[in-house]
Amino acid sequence: MDTGGLRERPKPLTPGARTVRIDLPASPRRGLWTQQADRILRFQRRWKRIKADLPPQLSRKHIGMISIGGVIGTGLFVGSANALRNGGPIGALLGYIIVGSVVYCLCVSVGEMIAFLPDVGGVVGLADLYVDPALGFSLGWAAWYNWSVTLPTEISAAVIVIGFWDQHHQVPVAAVSMLFLLAAVVVNCFPSRVYGEVEFTLSCVKVLTIVIIILLSLLIDLGASEQGPIGFRNWINMPFAEEYLGISGVKGRFLGFWAVIMQASFSFFGSDVPGIASVEVIDATRSTPQGLDEDVRVRVYSNDVLLTTNSATLDYRTLFYVGGVLVSGLLVPATDPGLALNDGTGNSSPFVIAFKLAGWGVVPHVCNAAILVSAWSAAASDIYIASRFLFFLARRGHAPAWLAHLYKSRSLRPAQGRGDSDNSTSTDQSGSEDDSDAESEDSHDSEQDDAGLRERELLGGQVTPAKKEIYVIPLASVLVTSSVGFLTLLSFGDVGANVVFQWLGNVASVASLQQWTATLFTYIRWHRGTVHYERKHQDQDTEVARKAKAEIAIIKKNRQWGQPYLAWYAFVLCVFVLLTNGWAVFLHNGWRIAEVLGEDPPSYGVDKRIFNPVPAFLSAYIPLPFFLLLTFGYKLIKQTETIPLDKMTFARGRIPPCEPIPEEPRGRIERLLEWLTII
């Protein structure tokens, strides 16, 4: 057999044989900055594909009002009762102001990043690009958990609100809960433009409600009621709560004030709505940063520090939340039994209590009805935002692919490309897509379609009418997210809606603080990266250096004075609150891991300080190890890399130019909102 053409097997080395090392020239390696720039382009391509699947249907007016009133719900109208009872009028006010300052720092940090890179997947994508892909994974799931667990919280609060008219508990709690959940789900089973219109209307109602409540409360305080002038009587008599969980004195007053921080965190939760909804916003590059700016301007107590040239923003002096807590503390003493929400009187809100004390017969009923509408509106927003998070996670490959299922309905329109099938209703199963897609796969799609259309027209062929997608929703994500709402059935039984509301409110508060902490850490890394990037190129005069300096100039244009110290202040405070929010459970001396069959359940007295330590501990601390497990588990399995400063680049990729495209307001309400710089 001729083996001349075969490669001989290498012979083993004999003892004493010499080996020669041959150094081959290293293969050219792409620079670290180029790799990071390619990742940004991949993120933008993925975002573009998602926008193609979810056609933009939210307009500037939608995102403007949703950013202000979309998530105003029971955290203010009902939850402020616990804040007033635990902290007193001044303690509640200080707690809301402190959390408002944290939200301000959060919003200006997020606004700076999203204004530069608005189309990489929001804060989740930015954490992936500038911190670690593992943080992007855990932050995405934490955000979904945060919004989804808020859903049963709002519904439980709605049950409390209905108790105002059902003091004898004749209405079945389970039926009311399921009715509210079903109504919130139905709105989200329509296209996002329907949700936008509904939420726009309800946001207007909620904003009008809180404004009227503040004005009427001031009238009552000045003497327009049976009580006569009240002034600062409640502030003088009891500025802080006398005790908290049986602890009196200065220590008890401070701990009561500290408990307000958690309740205020739940109230302020939802400040990143514009960035989340931007995938379905028409002209998102221009509308979304404006929506975030409105969120900072209006929901936080003062807008005077913002760098804005719009003089109309000076009209917004008082935050709705801080203004509401202020007037409720003026009118309702912290010792009022109705603030406990379970006194049997059906009181659901400090504002309802204030109007009842004033003797205004029908006003408490109208106020309670408005609060009920706010609870339903906030529940619908929770489903909308949480379902989009779940859909994005599925498209990233971080969740099962079937959660990216899209239900689509189409209608005929004049052709702009190749024809579609004749089915009037179709479904789309979009799973995770590989990040290594060619860069040109999206850039030439429209050119190919237009070329094909022109070719068929020149050949005299008949063009099949295309179909316009008018009904596109991530149905699977909506239904899975809505299923979390069944937690509200915990209200059915001996527990009671008020206890369930407090449990779920604590869970939502911890989740929101956890999400804020990760977001602020992302910004701190972003800021360090920009400083390193600028120093790297400050003494260079190359084309790359000039481009880098121009990019840094764009970032600094949107940077708030005081950064990164604002972000550090908010980050440290959030971490401290997360670690100490469940301090009360450690004062309990009746811990039991399990109940023994045949024995009566333990009955804890007031000397135990807290009646149900196990649920309180779980709601305060269980989310923290789960977040760490998601982060480090993903990092261990995927072997991800923490992005070093040398690898960070701040290329904007394919950001379209932000040209002013005027959108004329229609109707008196929209013109009024534009005059107020809300839209």
Domain ranges of the chain: 32-404+472-591+606-675
Q: What is the band of 409 on the pLDDT scale with cuts at 50, 70, 90?
A: confident
Bond from prior residue into 625 cis (ω within 30 degrees of 0): no
Q: How many CA atoms lie within 13 A of 583 on its CB side?
A: 16
pLDDT for 673 equals: 60
Q: What is the band of 229 on the pLDDT scale with cuts at 50, 70, 90?
A: confident
Asked whether the beta carbons of 54 and 279 are under 8 A apart, the reply is: yes
First to last CA, the chain: 86
pLDDT for 45 equals: 87
Angle CA 372–472–183, to nearest 5: 20
Tell me which of 11 and 440 has the higher pLDDT.
11
**Largest CA-CA distance found in the chain, in angstroms, rounded:** 116
Q: Which of 144, 184, 149, 174 is nearest to 372 (CA)?
A: 184
Reported residue count of the chain is 679
pLDDT for 122 equals: 84
Please give the torsion angle defined by the CA atoms of residues 156, 267, 122 and 142, in that order, rounded to the nearest 10 degrees. Answer: -50
User: 17 is written with which tokens?
Assistant: 């044989």
Mean pLDDT, rounded, for 357-379 = 88
pLDDT over threshold 60, residue 283: no
**DSSP-derived 3-state class of residue 29:** coil
pLDDT for 618 equals: 82
Mean pLDDT, rounded, for 181-200 = 87
User: How many angstroms separate the CA atoms of 307 and 303, rounded?
Assistant: 9
pLDDT over threshold 80, residue 470: no
Mean pLDDT, rounded, for 570-588 = 86
User: How many angstroms separate the CA atoms of 597 and 577, rounded?
Assistant: 38
Asked whether the beta carbons of 213 and 525 are under 8 A apart, the reply is: no
The per-residue pLDDT for range 108-121, each reduced to its tens digit, is 898 889 888 888 88
User: How many angstroms separate the CA atoms of 298 and 284, rounded?
Assistant: 20
Tell me which of 262 and 280 has the higher pLDDT.
262
Lowest mean pLDDT among 80-84, 564-568, 662-666: 662-666
pLDDT for 564 equals: 93
User: How many angstroms separate the CA atoms of 324 and 321, rounded?
Assistant: 5
Mean pLDDT, rounded, for 638-656 = 82
**pLDDT above 70 coverage of the chain, percent:** 67
Lowest mean pLDDT among 35-39, 170-174, 328-332, 657-661: 657-661
Residue 638, number of CB atoms within 10 A of its CB: 11
Q: What is the band of 671 on the pLDDT scale with cuts at 50, 70, 90?
A: low
Using DSSP bridges, classify how beta strands 405-413 and 466-473 pair: parallel, antiparallel or unpaired: antiparallel
Tell me which of 73 and 297 has the higher pLDDT.
73
pLDDT over threshold 90, residue 131: yes
The DSSP bridge partners found for residue 409 are 425, 471
DSSP 273-312: HHHHHGGGBTTHHHHHHHHHHHHHHHHSS--TTS----GG
User: How many angstroms separate the CA atoms of 413 and 228, rounded?
Assistant: 66
Q: What is the band of 69 on the pLDDT scale with cuts at 50, 70, 90?
A: low
pLDDT over threshold 80, residue 667: no
Tell me which of 129 and 607 has the higher pLDDT.
129
Domain 32-404+472-591+606-675: CATH superfamily, name plus number:
Amino acid/polyamine transporter I (1.20.1740.10)
Q: Which of 371, 367, 290, 361 is nearest to 76 (CA)?
A: 371
Mean pLDDT, rounded, for 338-360 = 77
Which positions ≥6 away from 62 have C-beta within 8 Å?
Answer: 196, 197, 199, 200, 281
Asked whether the beta carbons of 277 and 385 are under 8 A apart, the reply is: yes
Q: What is the band of 670 on the pLDDT scale with cuts at 50, 70, 90?
A: low
pLDDT over threshold 80, residue 328: yes
User: How many angstroms separate the CA atoms of 218 and 78, rounded?
Assistant: 19
**Residue where the block lists tokens 């869970």:** 507
pLDDT for 472 equals: 82
pLDDT for 578 equals: 92
Per-range mean pLDDT, top range of 285-299, 334-348, 384-398: 384-398
pLDDT over threshold 50, residue 355: yes
